[in-house]
Structure 1
Amino acid sequence: MTEPSGGDQMLEGLEMAHAGRENRRTFLAAGLLCPLAAALPGCRGDASAPSGEAETLPEVGLPAPAVPGADEARRHAGGRLTYYAESVGIGGAIDRALCGRFTADTGISVNVVMRPRDSTETYATYQRLFQARSPDVDVVTLDVIWPGTFAAHLVDLKPALGTAAAAHLEALVQNDTVEGRLVAMPWFTDFGMLYYRTDLLQKYGYGGPPTTWDELGQMAERIQAGERPSSRVFQGFVWQGKAYEGLTCNALEWVRSHGGGNLLEGRTPTVNNPEAARALARARSWIRAISPVGVTGYEEEDSRNVFQGGNAAFLRSWPYVYSAASAEGSRVKGRFDVAPMPHEPGQPSVATAGGWQLGVSTYTRHEGAATALVGYLSSPEVQRFRALAGGYIPTLQAVQRDPAVVRKLPFLERMAGATLVARPSSDAGPRYNEISIAFYQGVSKALHGTAPEEALEQIAQRMQRALR
C-alpha cells in the first residue's frame, strides 16, 4: 500500500500502505512498523464534532484512554480544532472516540474530518490548504514521506514534545526532523517483511525461513519445481515490481541488504555503486526463474492474491497481509508465518519503513491546543489503544513490548533483528517525488534488461538534476 527510510536491533523496540513511506539514516529496528488496515473499506465522511463524552468502541469494547496531563491542556479549553483524521478501515471510528475523550477531559473541541482515503488526494488537499495559508485545518495526518515536503508549513514540536519524541523509534523521529525542527510526531508505523509457507518448508525439509538471498533463491526454486506438477501457476517468490512507489520500497531493501547504502547522503546521490548493481542484477535473475514475468506489473494486492491463493512459497509485503491471509476463506490460513527480509552475509536484514505521522499547521489559530491533541494521539496510552482496537503498529518501543499488544500483533516478535530504513524524503524535501520516480523507473529498466550499472548511472544523473 504506500505508502512507504543504521539502525539498532529491532526487538529492543518493536511493527502499509501500498507503496511505503526514509530519512537520511537507517531506521533502528528497535521497532516495527504498522499494518495499514488498507484492505478494509475506508470511509470518507464530512466534518463531525464529537459529543465531548468518552466513547467506547463497540467493535472492540475498549474505552478511549484518559488524556495524560489533562490539567495542562485545559489551559486551552474553549479552543476549537479541525483534525484531518484517519479514514482507512476502523481508523475513523478510533479517531472519533479518541477526540471525544480529549474534548471531555480538556474542554478543547475537535472537529474530526476524514481525510481522503487516497493519499495522493490527501497530499493535494494539503498543498492547497498550505499554499493558501489556510487556518481551516489545525492538525494533519502525514504519510511518512511528507514531512520534508511540508516542513515549512508545520510547527516545530520539539519545544513541547521533544522529550516525548525521544521514546519513539529513532528512525521515525529522524524522518520527522527537518533541519533540526521536529515537524511531526510518529503515530503508527509499517514495514516490509517476508511471508513464507510453513507447510511447504516442512514438506521440503527446511527447518526455517531463509536468512540470505542465496537461501531464498535456492528454497524458492526447489519448492516451485516440486509444486509445479500439481499447480502450473505456482511461483517461488512474488513481490511488488511495478514502476511505482512500491518498487522504491522493495528496491531500497535489496540495495541496503547488499551493502549498497542509502539512495542519498544529504543531497548527494550515492546509489550508483557496485553493491547496488549486484542487488538489481539479483532481482532481475528472479524473473522467469522463481518469479513470474508479470511481477514487473505487480502492486501489493496482485502479489497478495497470488500468495493468499496458495500459489507462492514466499511473498514480500506489508503487515496488513497478515490479517488478510489469516482470515476465514484464505487458502493459506494457518499455513504461513513471517520473518525479516533476507540479506547478504555480513549485511543487515532491511525493512523499508512506512506509516503515518501527526503535525500541526503553522497557520493554526490554536497552536497550544493543537499541540496538546498531537501529544495525546501519539501518547503511549493511545498507541496501545490503537494497537488493540485496530491492529496499528506502535512507534513506541515500550508499547510494542506490551504483552497484550504482542498477543494482538504476534508477528512483531518474528521481526526481531531487522533494520528499518527510511526513504530519503527528509534529505530530498520537496524533491522527494522526483527522486523516487527516478529511482523506481531506473530500477524498472534494470528489471526489463538494462544493465544495472547503466540504470544506476542514469538514476544518479536524474537525482542530481532534481536536487540542483
Structure 2
Amino acid sequence: MTYKELARTLPSWVFAIGMLGASLYAQAVEITITCGPSGSDVEFCLKHAQAWAAKTGNTIKNFSPPNSPTEKLALYRQLFAAKSSDIDVVQIDTVWPGLLKDHLADLKPYSQGVESQHFPAIIANNSVNGKLLGMPWYTDAGLLYYRTDLLKKYGLRVPQTWEELTQTALKVQTGERAKGDTDFHGFVFQAKAYEGLTCNAIEWVGGQGGGTVVNADGEITIRNAQAAKALNLAASWIGSISPAGVLNYEEEEARGVFQNANALFMRNWPYAWALMQKNDSLVKGKVGVAKLPGNPSAAALGGWQLGVSKYSKHPAIAADLVMYMTSAAVQKTRAIHGSYNPTLPALYKDKEVLEANEFMGALADVFANSVARPTTATGLKYPQVSQSFWNAAHEVMSKRTTGEEAVTKLESRLKQIRRKHW
C-alpha cells in the first residue's frame, strides 16, 4: 500500500504522527549526551538513554565533562564558541540558562505543552525571552544528613541552628574519638573554592539572617554583621569539627567520609540518600535527613536540566531524547532507584516514590524555603559574582581573613563587577 493509499484509510492525525516518526527515525544516528564522568549519575543517565536508543534504533554516546560544575561550564563555553557539534544533549545547571541562552535550541516545538506538568518556577527559570531552553530533569536543595544511632546514643536532637550543630558535632566527635575512633569528624560539607561552596555559604548566611549576596532588585546586600558572623562560624569548624581537608571537598569527598561512618553530620544534595542505602554503605539503616539548620533554614536551590545544543546536527532527534529522559516514567524510576528529586509535583504523592525515599514527602517545605542563587539579578555576570563569593568564603575558612573583612572586600569587588548595571 502506498502512503497516499494509507492516508485515505487513516484519520489525518494518525497519518501525520506516523509520517513524523518515519522521518525522525528513517535513518539511525548517534546522539551524544553529557551523562557525566563517573558514578551513579552516569549509571542512571545512560541506562535510560540507552533504553531510548533501543526503542528508536539510534545509538548513544556519552560525553564525559569535568565533575566540577565550574569546569563543566567553562568547557561548554569553549565548545559553543567553536560551534562544535560534538554534543547534542547537554546537562544544564539551574544557574546556566541565562548564560547559555545563545547556544541552546528552543524546546517548545518539541514539548507539546508537557512543561505545564513540571514545577512552574523551574520552567520559568529555564525560559529566556519566551524560549524553553531546558527541560527539568531533577531538582535539588541542600539537606542535612545525620547519624540517627549516634544522636540517640548521646541523647541529642537534630540541630535547629548552626550554633547548635557546632556544639552537637563537637560533643559527639569528642566522645567517639575518646573511644578510639580518631578519624571521626563532627561535620563534613563542600568547602572547595567552586560553585558548591557558593551553595553552602548562601545557606550559612541565609540561616543567620544575613540575607543574600545580591537581592532580587540587584542590590548588593552581603556586607552585614550576620553574613560576617556566618562566615566566621564556618571558619571555626575547620580543624575542629571538620577536617582541614574539607577545604578541598566537593560532594563526593564529603559523601565518602560520611558513608564510611567517619562523620556525624553531612551537608549534601538528595542524591546521596540512595547511596547510603546500598549494601556496601557502612551507615546503611543509620542515616536520617532533615532540613538544614538556621533561623530561617535556607537551603540552596539546585538541580539539572537537559537541553539541546544549537549546533547539533540532529536537533529533532536530540529533543526527542530529552523529552523521553525528562518524562514522568523516567523521573519516577530515577526517584525510586537513585533518589533524584522529580520536577513533577504529582510524583511527590506517588506511593512507590515515597516508600523508596521517606524524606521526599517533607521536601515541599524545603523547596518552598529554598534560596536561589542571584542568577536572575546578575545575568551574564553571575559567574564572576559567584566566584568572588566563594573565594571570599574560602579565604575566611582558610584563616587568611575575617568574616568582617571579607564581606567588606566582597562588596567592593561586586560593585566593580556591576559597574552601572548588572
Report the TM-score, using the length of structure 1 for normalisation: 0.73
Report the CA distance shift for 1:371/1:202 in structure 2 as closer, same or farther (over 3 A). Answer: same
Name the counterpart of 1:95. 49
**Cα shift readout 1:227-283 (whole Å, capped 9, x = no counterpart):** 231133332222222222221121111122223333223554332233322221222
Task: Give the 3-state SS of the residue equivalent to 2:300 in structure 1.
Answer: strand
Task: Give the 3-state SS of the residue equivalent to 1:152 in structure 2.
Answer: coil
Which of residues 228, 243, 253 in structure 2 aligns to 1:277?
Answer: 228
Name the counterpart of 1:220. 169
| Aligned: 1:378 with 2:326 | yes
Shift in Å at residue 214 of structure 1?
3.1
Q: Which structure 2 residues correspond to residues 39-438 of structure 1 after superposition, within 5 A?
A: 72=17, 75=20, 77-79=22-24, 82-87=31-36, 88-101=42-55, 103=56, 110-119=58-67, 123=73, 126-134=76-84, 138-157=88-107, 161=111, 163-206=113-156, 208-230=157-179, 231-264=181-214, 265=216, 267-344=218-295, 347=296, 349-363=297-311, 370-388=318-336, 390-413=338-361, 415-418=363-366, 419-438=369-388
AA matched with 1:285? S
AA matched with 1:188? Y
The separation in 2 between residues aligned to 1:144 and 1:447, in whole angstroms, is 26
Q: Which structure 2 residues correspond to residues 434-445 of structure 1 after superposition, within 5 A?
A: 434-445=384-395
**Cα shift readout 1:45-97 (whole Å, capped 9, x = no counterpart):** xxxxxxxxxxxxxxxxxxxxxxxx99758536423673524241232121110
Structure with larger RCO (C-alpha < 8 A, sep 6+): 1
Between structures 1 and 2, the one with greater helix share: 2
Shift in Å at residue 443 of structure 1?
0.6
**Cα shift readout 1:308-359 (whole Å, capped 9, x = no counterpart):** 2323221112233323333334332222211111112xx2x22223332122
Task: Give the 3-state SS of the residue equivalent to 1:186 in structure 2.
Answer: strand
Q: Is 1:189–1:392's contact at 8 Å kept on the other side of the alignment?
A: yes
Report the CA distance shift for 1:119/1:197 in structure 2 as closer, same or farther (over 3 A). Answer: closer
Give the alignment's Cα RMSD to 1 decimal: 3.1
Q: Is 1:144–1:355's contact at 8 Å kept on the other side of the alignment?
A: yes
Task: Give the 3-state SS of the residue equivalent to 1:150 in structure 2.
Answer: coil
Tell which deviates more after alignment, 403-412 or 73-82.
73-82
The separation in 2 between residues aligned to 1:329 and 1:136, in whole angstroms, is 37
The separation in 2 between residues aligned to 1:247 and 1:178, in whole angstroms, is 27
Q: Is 1:141–1:356's contact at 8 Å kept on the other side of the alignment?
A: yes
Q: Is 1:325–1:333's contact at 8 Å kept on the other side of the alignment?
A: yes
Shift in Å at residue 202 of structure 1?
0.9
Shift in Å at residue 294 of structure 1?
3.6
Report the CA distance shift for 1:389/1:98 in structure 2 as closer, same or farther (over 3 A). Answer: farther
The separation in 2 between residues aligned to 1:257 and 1:116, in whole angstroms, is 35
Gaps (5+ residues) in structure 2? 1-13, 37-41
Name the counterpart of 2:9. none
AA matched with 1:219? T
Task: Give the 3-state SS of the residue equivalent to 1:393 in structure 2.
Answer: coil
**Cα shift readout 1:14-65 (whole Å, capped 9, x = no counterpart):** xxxxxxxxxxxxxxxxxxxxxxxxxxxxxxxxxxxxxxxxxxxxxxxxxxxx
The separation in 1 between residues aligned to 2:344 and 2:388, in whole angstroms, is 33
Report the CA distance shift for 1:259/1:236 in structure 2 as closer, same or farther (over 3 A). Answer: same
Q: Flag the structure with larger Rg.
A: 2
Report the CA distance shift for 1:406/1:223 in structure 2 as closer, same or farther (over 3 A). Answer: same
The separation in 2 between residues aligned to 1:234 and 1:361, in whole angstroms, is 45
The total of aligned residue pairs comes to 390
Shift in Å at residue 291 of structure 1?
2.6
Report the TM-score, using the length of structure 2 for normalisation: 0.80
Overall identity of the aligned pairs, in %:
42
The separation in 1 between residues aligned to 2:210 and 2:16, in whole angstroms, is 50
